[in-house]
Amino acid sequence: MKMLHKIAIAVLLSAALASVLARYIAPAGYEQQFRDEAQARPSIHHLLGTDDLGRDRFARVVYGMRVSLFLAPLAALLSTILAAAVGGIAGFCGGWVERVVMGATDLFLALPWLFLLITVRAVLPLNLSPVASVIITFALLGMLGWAPAARVICAGARQALQSDFVWSARARGCGGLRLIRVHLLPSLRPALAAQFFLSIPVFIIAEANLGALGLGVSEPLPSLGGLVCELQDFVMLRPEPWRLAPLVVLIVVIGAFQVLLSKQEVQA
Amino acid sequence: MRARALLISLVLACTCTVFAQNGGGQNGGELRFCLRSDPKTFNPLLVNDDASETVRYLTAGFLLRVNRLTQQPEPDLAISWKILNQGKSIRFKLRPDVRYSDGTPFSAVDVAYTMQRLLDGSVHSATSDAFRSGEGKLVTRVLSPTLIELNFPAPVANLAYLFDFVPILSSTSPQKEMAALGPFFVAEHKAGAFVLLKRNPNYWKKDPQGRQLPYLDSVRLEVEQNPDIEAMRYERGEIDLINTVSPAIYEKLSSVNASSVRDAGPSTDVEEVWFNQVPSAPIPAYKKQWFASTAFRHAISEAINREDMARLVFRGHAVPAAGNVPQSNKFWFNANLQPQAYDTSGALRRLQSDGFRMENQQLRDKNGNPVEFSIVTNAGNRSREQMATMIQQDLKKIGIKVNVVTLDFNSLLERMTQTFNYEACLLGTVNGDLDPSSQMTMWLSSGEDHIWNPKEKAPATAWEAEIDKQMRIQASTLDLHKRKAAWDQVQKIAWEQAPVIYLVNKDSLVAISPQIKNAQPSPFRPQAYWNIENLMLARR
């Protein structure tokens, strides 16, 4: 278990390092079209061959990891903060506040978030750069993904309020913000960390889903989701198995997060 | 012994003769292929989707049919026809002794009934618009059971060809619109799964040897949305044809068995990009100025490498387009037009002559605004996304920044037709009809489909006024040469003014099992099975 944990961290660190150093590792820019070498097989010049427009597949995978590895954790952080705020308030206040807030959370959970996301994207300004558009997409994912975690945090906060150390703190006159900051939040930290790690692969896959609908990251910026979307014409995969590279990377990255998540869950 | 040998030789000789005539096929059998969705209707007059159109094509009877190879109308239920009264009337002589699939006799009364139903406003038939040439009602005169005259309030251009889209219903059959005059009738339908068509026992057509057509016993249309799964099923022999395959699937199938796919040549489908020229559009005024400039539009057209687009996106199964009429439309194509040649320096010169200038690899207009715009296209269409990405790269070479935006189709349609909140749009046009009269709403400045600036109250430019004039000339005369001259002029103006930048004409790619005999794929719909009655299956 410990070994697996180390491997997962090593995998994620290597992937993060590779994406940060993409400019030096990749043989070409992710958008550069070598039109005379389109659909080339893997070679020294193009390690994973080239795509339909002659773009280097390896470069696109390495740059694509940037989007997934950096923006998904940021979106996860945003959704965890929102979940902590909403769930924490509900659990701490209890009574009618909890019922109202949790009712609103249930309503939020029932929303068809994919359609909501499509609708919001449809009204965005058209001249946004691909980078701005992908940041907005992940911000939306973060803002829409807090509800399941909020329920867990609310339950955790309610449980913590009944614990002996909180009774003891209250008996000594500790209350309000100090009680939350000094006693409640530290006790909720494992649950929050678990929610954070749980959200990362969810957001990576959500982006992949949007990519499959053609509504993910806009061209020419690559993302793992968008690259996986290119596998839709899978009749071509038997003769060109190297096209599976983005899917393999996606599985390995999500697998590594899941390994870390298991540890966090145990701690929580 | 000698007599026996002679008998065997005779039997062999006869068998060989029959095989030679059939191309190695035999009567009977079931042809299987896929529909992308369940048919929305079996009422032939209400057809508005591909799946229903397939069922209609295979089951309905028509007065005449346009041969998809020669592009000429041929007699079907009508033996002959004559245009009268300067295009206001048409008289059909009908085939005698024809019966519907349920045995109900066919006569001129059925044609009159069909035309009245078709033009009844409450039916909302998409086919009827082409016949509405002027105010007033259609007058039908049944002169005898096999002779009918249809009188329209105003001349209808291309009148005879329009009957290629009019399925003839029965006025008396208890089965109503399900009674078929075509080669097959609908025998079974399981929603979401399949439609089973069986041979119409009363179909009138016979082959040169006098055998009743169609050769096939039945056609099974299975609903399959995923083209990749459809291709896999074709490879496994579970279906016999795919009417339209993507270039990627074509290449894959071709690498396994070259005889299992065919490229029928450029289709009438054209991919295009246009700039929003609606005066009230919520886009900056300086951008409206660029988009209204012919030099700007031409420069963009010149900077796009269509050859690369055809080679990479469509894997060579497309040709650069000169306009919205493909070369395969033999009569109506203006042969004097050539696709815009790729020339970045020429594009830059043209832009400079229009006041644009390059500064640090960035093109700016005369007021110093950087030239940047977005191209919207429909999400999920990979070839369009790739074309937009290629345009992005091509225009970067002349200092123009392009943002590619993919939107779900409903949002795109809303921007195109209601809010006009877009700058440039990349989409495709599907031309079902070869005749220009079907494109009136696209070219008339008042037309709803005048995509760059719909429903103009008066033509916004002199060249649009000229297009209006030429379109009206071609729609109001029966003289084919005058119509052709007018339509050539429209194509020429469209090329010179480039309100729409035509990119490529896609080829019609079909997959037809070598087991199917007599197949003659056409670039025009329905590509693979347009001669369904002559298709035959070899012994499996």
- State pLDDT tens for residues B365-410: 999 999 999 999 998 788 999 999 999 999 999 999 999 988 888 8
Task: Give CA separation, B432 vs A170, B165, B173, B524, in Å.
Answer: 79, 10, 30, 8
In this structure, how many other beta carbons lie within 10 angstroms of the beta carbon of residue B86? Answer: 11
Per residue in B257-279, pLDDT (tens digit) is 899 999 998 888 899 999 999 99
At residue B252, the pLDDT reads 87
Per residue in A74-123, pLDDT (tens digit) is 999 999 999 999 998 888 888 899 899 999 998 888 888 777 777 777 77
At residue B2, the pLDDT reads 47
Mean pLDDT of B476-484: 85
At residue B233, the pLDDT reads 93
Q: Which residues of B touch A54 (CB under 8 A)?
A: 312
Q: Which amino acid is at B228?
A: D
At residue B25, the pLDDT reads 56
Q: In the structure encoding, which two tokens stand for residue B476, read together?
A: 């109001």
Closest by CA position to B515, among listed B253, B237, B255:
B237
| B394 at A interface, C-beta within 8 A | no
Task: Give CA separation, B86 vs B78, B89, B106, B135, B476, in Å.
Answer: 21, 8, 29, 17, 9
- Which residues are registered as beta bridge partners of B428? B271
Q: Point out the residue among A54, A127, A213 whose CB comes nearest to the CB of B374.
A: A127
- The mean-pLDDT minimum among A225-234, B212-221, B456-465, B480-489 falls in A225-234
At residue A262, the pLDDT reads 66
- Report the C-alpha gap between A61 and A47 in whole angstroms: 11
Q: Which residues of A touch B372 (CB under 8 A)?
A: 127
At residue A236, the pLDDT reads 58
- Report the C-alpha gap between B509 and B262 in whole angstroms: 6
At residue B7, the pLDDT reads 45
Beta-carbon contacts of residue A123 (< 8 Å; ≥ 6 apart): none
Q: In the structure encoding, which two tokens stand for residue B499, read together?
A: 């309100």
Q: With a cut of 70, say whether residue A266 has pLDDT above it.
A: no
- How many CA atoms lie within 13 Å of B388's alpha carbon, on the beta-carbon side? 29
**A contact test, residue of B313, B408, B509 with most A CBs within 10 A:** B408
Residue B386 C-alpha, separation from nearest chain A C-alpha, in angstroms: 8
- On average, the pLDDT of chain B sits at 89
Q: In the structure encoding, which two tokens stand for residue A46, read together?
A: 């193009």
Q: Which amino acid is at A113?
A: W
At residue B13, the pLDDT reads 43
Per residue in B352-361, pLDDT (tens digit) is 999 999 998 9
At residue B540, the pLDDT reads 54
**B contact test, residue of A126, A131, A230, A234 with most B CBs within 10 A:** A126
Between chains, do A33 and B228 touch, taking CB under 8 Å as contact? no
Q: Point out the residue among A38, A219, A239 whose CB comes nearest to the CB of B388.
A: A219
At residue A214, the pLDDT reads 62
In this structure, how many other beta carbons lie within 10 angstroms of the beta carbon of residue A159? Answer: 14
Q: How confident is the model at residue B539 (pLDDT cuts 50, 70, 90)?
A: low
Percent of chain B with pLDDT over 70: 94
**B contact test, residue of A31, A39, A53 with most B CBs within 10 A:** A53
Q: With a cut of 80, say whether residue B135 has pLDDT above it.
A: no
At residue B14, the pLDDT reads 43
Per residue in B426-438, pLDDT (tens digit) is 999 887 778 888 7
Tell me the pTM: 0.82
**B contact test, residue of A129, A210, A219, A243 with most B CBs within 10 A:** A219
User: How many CB pairs below 8 Å do chains A and B form together?
Assistant: 85
Segment 147-206 of chain B within 8 Å of chain A by CB: none
Q: With a cut of 70, say whether residue B5 has pLDDT above it.
A: no
Mean pLDDT of A60-70: 89
At residue A207, the pLDDT reads 81
Q: With a cut of 90, say whether residue A213 has pLDDT above it.
A: no
Q: With a cut of 80, say whether residue A144 has pLDDT above it.
A: yes
Percent of chain A with pLDDT over 70: 93
Residue B182 C-alpha, separation from nearest chain A C-alpha, in angstroms: 36
At residue B18, the pLDDT reads 42
Q: Do residues B531 and B518 touch, judged by C-beta distance below 8 A?
A: yes
- Report the C-alpha gap between B71 and B221 in whole angstroms: 27
- On average, the pLDDT of chain A sits at 85
3-state secondary structure chain A: CHHHHHHHHHHHHHHHHHHHCHHHHCCCCCCCCCHHHCCCCCCCCCCCCECCCCCEHHHHHHHHHHHHHHHHHHHHHHHHHHHHHHHHHHHHHCHHHHHHHHHHHHHHHHCCHHHHHHHHHHCCCCCCCHHHHHHHHHHHHHHHCCHHHHHHHHHHHHHHHCCHHHHHHHHCCCCHHHHHHHHHHHHHHHHHHHHHHHHHHHHHHHHHHHHHCCCCCCCCCCCHHHHHHHHHCHHHCCCCHHHHHHHHHHHHHHHHHHHHHHHHHHHC
At residue B11, the pLDDT reads 43
- Report the C-alpha gap between A182 and A259 in whole angstroms: 30
Between B348 and A216, whose confidence is greater?
B348
Q: How confident is the model at residue B98 (pLDDT cuts 50, 70, 90)?
A: very high
Q: Do residues B535 and B31 touch, judged by C-beta distance below 8 A?
A: yes
Q: Point out the residue among A31, A215, A230 whose CB comes nearest to the CB of B379.
A: A215
Q: With a cut of 70, say whether residue B21 has pLDDT above it.
A: no
Q: In the structure encoding, which two tokens stand for residue A9, read together?
A: 């961290």
Q: Which residues of B touch A53 (CB under 8 A)?
A: 312-313, 386, 389-390, 393
Between A160 and B195, whose confidence is greater?
B195
Q: Which residues of A touch B255 (CB under 8 A)?
A: 239
ipTM metric:
0.80
| A255 at B interface, C-beta within 8 A | no
Q: In the structure encoding, which two tokens stand for residue A232, read together?
A: 């839709």
